[in-house]
Amino acid sequence: MAAIPPLCDFGWKPIDATLPGIDGINHGILAQAGEKGLVVAFICNHCPYVKAVIDRIVRDARDLAELGVGFVAISSNDVDAYPEDSFENMKLFAEAHRFPFPYLYDEDQSVARAWGAVCTPDFFGFNAQMELQYRGRLDASRRESGPVDLRRDLYEAMRQVTGTGKGPEEQIASMGCSIKWKDTV
């Protein structure tokens, strides 16, 4: 079922955590920030919304790095219910799409809960002071990739953030599969 996260809570300060990466190294989320900001993307391997845009996510992460914006992706799904999202499959997914950024595993889902992540993909864009300035979509794609000339909403918003420190006032929420939460007792 599709889920839509809330719009940007401008100025929200992220909660840092250290999570295992597919490279065998534990990474601090905020340590991935570039000089001009950081994008944190909650994604997974099986979601059709993510699959439709994963190569665009990789493209935008590379282009944002050139602007001084770091990028990190986190998978928080319940892998017992969705084995395609397992840590081993995260490695294969990242390799197949040549991720230029750390892909981290939030096994206990504490980071997704603390951040209020709702869906995959769910993007959080921060300025150099680690203040939330963007909580919107990558572009207008949905379960299928849109045309190649779609406006790059995430990229353009973060480009604005690098120049002004502020994100656009008008943002369109991302849409994707809901995060697959573990059953809690």
**Domain region containing 66:** 2-173
Q: Does 184 reside within a domain? A: no
* Per-residue pLDDT tens over the stretch 94-127: 999 999 999 999 999 999 999 999 999 999 999 9
The answer as to whether 180 is a domain residue is: no
Asked, for residue 90, whether it belongs to a domain, the answer is yes
Q: What is the three-state SS of the chain?
A: CEECCCCCCCCCCCCCCEEEECCCCEEECHHHCECCEEEEEECCCCCHHHHHHHHHHHHHHHHHHHCCEEEEEEECCCCCCCHHHCHHHHHHHHHHCCCCCCEEECCCCHHHHHHCCCEECEEEEECCCCCEEECCCCCCCCCCCCCCCCCCHHHHHHHHHHHHCCCCCCCCCCCEEECCCCCCC
The structure's pTM equals 0.96
**pLDDT score recorded for residue 185:** 41
Tens-digit pLDDT profile for residues 132-169:
999 999 999 988 888 888 999 999 999 999 999 999 99
Domain assignment present for residue 183? The answer is no
Q: Is residue 120 in some structural domain?
A: yes
Contacting residues for 21 by C-beta, under 8 A, at least 6 apart: 27, 102, 103, 104, 105
- Structural domains in the chain (count): 1
Q: Is residue 179 domain-resident?
A: no
Torsion of CA 4, 12, 75, 53, to 10 degrees: 50
The CATH code of the domain that includes 102 is: 3.40.30.10
